[in-house]
Chains A and B, each alone.
Chain A
Amino acid sequence: MKNIIYILLICSLLLTSCKSASVIKSKQYSGIYNQNPLSVLIMPPINRSTNVEAKEFFYTTLNVPVINAGYYVIPPFLSMEILKRESAYDAELFIDRPSLEVFAEIFGADIAMFTIINKWDKSSVFSTVTIDLEYILKSTRTNEVLFTKKGVVTYNTSLSTGNPLLNIAASLINTAAIKYVDVARACNNYSFSDIPKGKYSPKFGLDREEKSSPKKFNVRLPK
Chain B
Amino acid sequence: MKKYTYLIFLSVFLISCTSTKGLYTWSKYEQASYNYLKKSDEKSTDKLFKEYELLINNQKGTRKVTPPGILADYGFLLIQKGDLIKGKEYLKKEILLYPESKIFIDRILKLVEK
Contact = CB atoms under 8 A, between A and B. Distances in A.
Nearest to A59: B37
B34 A72 contact: no
Interface in A17-75: 38-39, 53, 56-57, 59-61, 63-64, 67-68, 70-75
A63 B33 CA distance: 11
Interface in B63-108: 63, 67-70, 72-73, 76-77, 94, 98, 100-104, 107-108
A82 B104 CA distance: 10
Contacts of B30: 60-61, 64, 181, 185
Nearest to A53: B38
A64 B69 contact: no
Report the interface size class on chain A.
Answer: 20 to 34
Report the interface size class on chain B.
Answer: 20 to 34
A78 B100 contact: no
Interface of A: 38-39, 53, 56-57, 59-61, 63-64, 67-68, 70-79, 81-82, 105-108, 179, 181, 185, 200-202
What 10 A-B pairs have minimum CB-CB distances, sorted nearest first? Answer: A108-B103, A75-B69, A75-B72, A60-B33, A60-B34, A75-B73, A72-B68, A78-B76, A77-B73, A107-B104
18 contacts: A38-B100, A56-B34, A57-B34, A60-B34, A61-B30, A64-B29, A64-B30, A68-B24, A71-B68, A75-B94, A75-B101, A76-B33, A76-B69, A77-B77, A78-B73, A107-B103, A108-B102, A200-B68
